[in-house]
Amino acid sequence: MTDARLPDSAPARRWSWTDPALRSAVIQVSLAILLIWMAWSFFANAQANLARQGIASGFGFLDNSAGFGITQTLIPYSESMSYGRAFLVGLLNTLLVAVLGIILATVIGFLVGVARLSENVVIRALASAYVEVTRNLPPLFQILFWYLAVLATMPNPRQGWAFGLQPLLQSLANGAASIGLSPLADGLRSLAGDVSGPGVFLSNRGLVVPRPVFEADFNIIFGVLVVGIIAAWIVKRWAHVRREKTGQPFPTFWVGLALVLGPAIIAGFVLGWPMTFEKPELRGFNFAGGVRIIPEFVALLVALSVYTAGFIAEIVRAGILAVSKGQTEAAKSLGMRSGPTMRLIIIPQAMRVIVPPLTSQYLNLTKNSTLGVAVGYPDLFAVFAGTTLNQTGQAIEIIAMTMAVYLTISILTSMLMGWYNKRVALVER
Amino acid sequence: MSRTFKHFLLAAGMLAMGASAAGAATLDDVKARSALNCGVSQGLPGFSNPDDKGNWAGLDVDFCRAIAAAIFNDPTKVKFSPLSAKDRFTALQSGAIDVLSRNTTWTMSRDTTLGFNFAGVMYYDGQGFMVRKSLNLKSVSDLNGASICVQTGTTNELNVGDYFRTNNLKYELIAFATIDETIKAYDSGRCDAFTADQSQLYAVRLKLTNAADHVVLQQVISKEPLGPLVRQGDDQWFDLVKWTYFAMLDAEELGVNSKNVDQMGSTANPEIKRLLGTDGKFGEAIGISNDWVARIVKHVGNYGEVFDRNLGPATPLAINRGQNNLWNNGGLQYGMPVR
Ligand SMILES: N[C@@H](CCC(=O)N[C@@H](CS)C(=O)NCC(=O)O)C(=O)O
């Protein structure tokens, strides 16, 4: 540490242990070599031992036919397809429940978190009770609760509750006619004609709804919808810039909604709604046709969202409390009402505190989705690390692939949230 | 999840560190730790089920007790690991258990690519269906379009697919991780049918809220030879487990049972003398005492006694011997001769 060299004489690099940069480079390179060697010998050893024990290895099994059925498949699948295909089916099921769960949990969490700070005692108490109950019951218990307790109250398909889509459309049409919107009423009436008989069934087999079948002309309506979305986005940017400049508010939400839906609805009436409904029908034991949402999915989705929302609510509450009181007071003194104060002043600042812990809740939710195997939800863990592993016995390959998938999902989520966090970070001026 | 991961880590660790379970002398390990590690199911009356005092009982359980009796002359020196269908193979591969005696179907892939050896067929079975009586079903084809509950990681999960597809029947299969969850889902009405090996269906029926409301259809759709298995590569241990099974059958065939075994040793019948170790050194050949069969029969009983005690007419399951009768009684059970 006693370096007597003159400050301006550039030190000549010597091979010496006293050079910290060189020393750390040597140590790091040796550590890396050691790690690679360990990983390699781990792998080679495992390979040799597997061969000696007569256990199959390698990834060839992915092409073999799976042989088992899967209840919920977002892509076409049958037993005669491969384990690789089953892997994809499981992966999509995991992503479906994770993405929808994250959205739902965020919505519930924000509502409850804000409610915990409400001036209203009843709302505050309800929100507190929600947080205490959901956070303190293990997620597996909650999944089983939603599945078994709620499922048990549902009737079987024959006695299932049938909801008529037709009567609903009919009464909507009458309503529209009575306030003078006769084109809308006509459209609704013709829709109602398409869906004769009850179209929606709720039973212990899940929720069955008619499947919309779009004709070619419907693409025009989709096109109009997309244009509307773009227009709404442009208006939002414009309103934002204008507010920054002049401070004038603009009803972005309502104008945006009108821009998105209005033209599409008009186009729909002009084209006479070129679509039909494939109605589910009770045939034997189950429903044929239509779209069915299985109870396993609903139970898992609701349980994961409700559970995670309890944690998110606390994060949101802490985030809001972290914004200094002066902000609220300043907004009040400018005459802002409490709603806009929350939306425009408090929440944007609270986001900086909220986003990092929110990310880890999202990751938890994704990982907890593996508990779905308890209620027979065919996620990646159940289909691949469960059934496929059991049938092929190739634990090393399958667990490695499964871990890689969950790791990738986690890293992508973190990256996305990191990017968002940068956007909401306080811009110091 | 945690259990699978535990087994996986165990397996990965053992495989990688070279402390390979295969090749190691399992019998020496069992003797050294003074206990047999036996994998059984998590609760299937008649096969392996803990009673109210926590004692395990059943056909699969008694087979492990027989091995312990042969080695230690003490049928209680067994540590039972309850395993779900899904986790059982990893547990055996990793060396967490010495033998898997858990109504496991002997299939070619399990025997070959999973690295196991099957020691025999404790119970000849076939896959069946349990349905509600009120449905009034006659055969499996009446189940067209039905929702079917099954436990994941079983042959049953695969057979349903084969059968329904080849017969052009529609079905929805919901696979659960453990037996309790499968039972609850079926009981709550989520499924029209519960499928498993018939013997398991009889056992499961006893666990339903109202057993009398359910029937097991006569028809079977597969062959399910259920037997104990060990890791491939340890022939001595494989022999010991295999001959424990044969000895139980031979004892029944020769009329040796837990009540007369002490007297039988002094008969003139050379077959019985070899079996009970008063003649020859058959026990030594598999690394244990020569009176090994006498120990098994005295402590646990012959095959017929074990069957009757756990599954027979006097039990709630009341299963007929049927295919599980001895070969000379019209069944398929056939013990190789001790000589
Ligand atoms: N024999 C079939 C099925 C064995 C099996 O696990 N059956 C279930 C059907 S209910 C069972 O016994 N479960 C009991 C348990 O998991 O504890 C096989 O080997 O794959």
Which ranges of chain B have pLDDT less than 70? 1-23
Average pLDDT score, chain A = 86
pLDDT at B1: 45
Q: How far apart are CA B162 and CA B142, in angstroms?
A: 16
A316 and A347, same domain (yes or no):
yes
The span from the CA of B63 to the CA of B249, in Å, is: 12
Mind telling me how many Å the CA of A325 is from chain B's nearest CA? Answer: 45
CB-CB contact of A148 with A204 (8 Å) = no
Q: Please give the tally of structural domains in chain A.
A: 2
Nearest CA to ligand 1 atom 9: B196
Nearest ligand 1 atom to alpha carbon B85: 6
Query: Does residue A132 or residue B267 have the better pLDDT?
Result: A132
User: Atom 20 of ligand 1 has which residue's CA nearest to it?
Assistant: B154
Tokens matching residue B73: 């002359």
Q: Given an 8 Å threshold on Cβ–Cβ distance, is A69 in contact with B90?
A: no
**Which residues of chain A does B137 touch, with a Cβ-Cβ cutoff of 8 Å?**
none
Q: What are the boundaries of each domain within chain B?
A: 24-124+226-329, 128-222
Atom of ligand 1 nearest to the CA of B110: 19
Confidence (pLDDT) at B21: 45
Residue A248 pLDDT grade (very low, low, confident, very high; cuts 50, 70, 90): confident
Q: Identify the CATH number of the domain in which residue A113 sits.
A: 1.10.3720.10
Could you count the other beta carbons within 10 Å of the beta carbon of residue A290? 18
Angle subtended by helix axes A121-136 and A295-321, to nearest 10:
120
Residue A123 lies in a domain: yes
Q: Which of B134, B174, B231, B238 to mutate to test the interface with A (most CBs of A within 10 A)?
A: B174
Task: Tell me if A12 is assigned to some domain.
Answer: no
Instruction: Find out whether B300 and B306 touch, Cβ atoms under 8 Å.
Output: yes
Mean pLDDT of A147-153: 83
For ligand 1, atom 3: residue with the closest CA: B154
Map chain A to HEC letters: CCCCCCCCCCCCCCCCCCCHHHHHHHHHHHHHHHHHHHHHHHHHHHHHHHHHCCECCCCHHHHCECCCCCCCCCCCCCCCCEHHHHHHHHHHHHHHHHHHHHHHHHHHHHHHHHHCCCCCHHHHHHHHHHHHHHHHCCHHHHHHHHHHHHHHCCCCHHHCEEECHHHHHHHHHHHHHHCCCHHHHHHHHHHHHHCCCCCEEEECCEEEECEEEECCCHHHHHHHHHHHHHHHHHHHHHHHHHHHHHCCCCCHHHHHHHHHHHHHHHHHHHHCCCEEEECCEEECCEEECCEEECHHHHHHHHHHHHHHHHHHHHHHHHHHHCCCHHHHHHHHHCCCCHHHHHHHHHHHHHHHHHHHHHHHHHHHHHHHHHHHHHHCCCCHHHHHHHHHHHHHCCHHHHHHHHHHHHHHHHHHHHHHHHHHHHHHCCCCC
Per the domain annotation, does A207 fall within a domain?
no
In chain A, the percentage of residues whose pLDDT exceeds 90 is 41
The answer to whether position A74 is within a domain reads no
DSSP assignment, residue A156? P
Yes or no, beta carbons of B113 and A285 under 8 Å apart: no
| pLDDT score, position B12 | 57
Index of the ligand 1 atom closest to the CA of residue B224:
1
Q: How far is the CA of B223 from the centre of ligand 1 (A)?
A: 14
Q: Which residues line ligand 1 (CB under 6 A)?
A: B 41-44, 84-85, 103-105, 151, 154-156, 178-179, 196-197, 200, 204, 224, 226
Summarised one tens digit per residue, pLDDT across range A361-418 is 999 999 999 999 999 999 999 999 989 998 888 888 999 999 999 999 999 999 999 9
Answer whether B175 sits within 8 Å of A387, measured CB to CB.
Answer: yes
Same fold: B24-124+226-329 with B128-222: yes
> Does the domain formed by B24-124+226-329 have CATH 3.40.50.2300?
no
ipTM computed for the complex: 0.81
Looking from the CA of residue B48, the nearest atom of ligand 1 is 17
Whole-model pTM?
0.82
Whether residue A20 lies inside any domain: the answer is no
Q: What is the pLDDT of residues A286-309, one digit of tens each?
A: 888 888 899 999 999 999 999 999
pLDDT of residue B19: 45
B85 contact residues in A (CB cutoff 8 A): 390
Confidence class for position A14, pLDDT limits 50, 70, 90: low
Q: Which of B14, B17, B86 sits opposite A390 (nearest CB)?
A: B86
B180: closest chain A residue by CA? A374
What are the two backbone dihedrals, phi and then psi, of residue A72, each rounded to the nearest 5 degrees?
-120, 115
According to DSSP, residue A196 is labeled -
Q: Which of A160-164, A338-342, B37-41 has the lowest mean pLDDT?
A: A160-164
pLDDT of residue A252 exceeding 80: yes
- pLDDT for the residue numbered A216: 82
Q: Do the domain assignments include residue A272?
A: yes
Which superfamily, per CATH, for B128-222? Periplasmic binding protein-like II (3.40.190.10)
Q: What is the mean pLDDT of residues A136-164?
A: 84
- Is residue A27 in a domain? no
Q: Does residue A366 sit at the B interface (CB-CB below 8 Å)?
A: no
Judgement on whether residues A417 and A308 belong to the same structural domain of the protein: yes
Ligand 1 pocket: which of B3, B40, B41, B56 to mutate (most atoms within 8 A of CB): B41
pLDDT tens-digit series, residues A73-104: 999 999 889 999 999 999 999 999 999 999 99
**Between A341 and B33, whose confidence is greater?**
B33
Domain that holds residue A255: 214-278
Q: pLDDT digits over A183-205, tens only?
A: 777 777 776 666 555 678 888 88
pLDDT of A52 higher than 70: yes
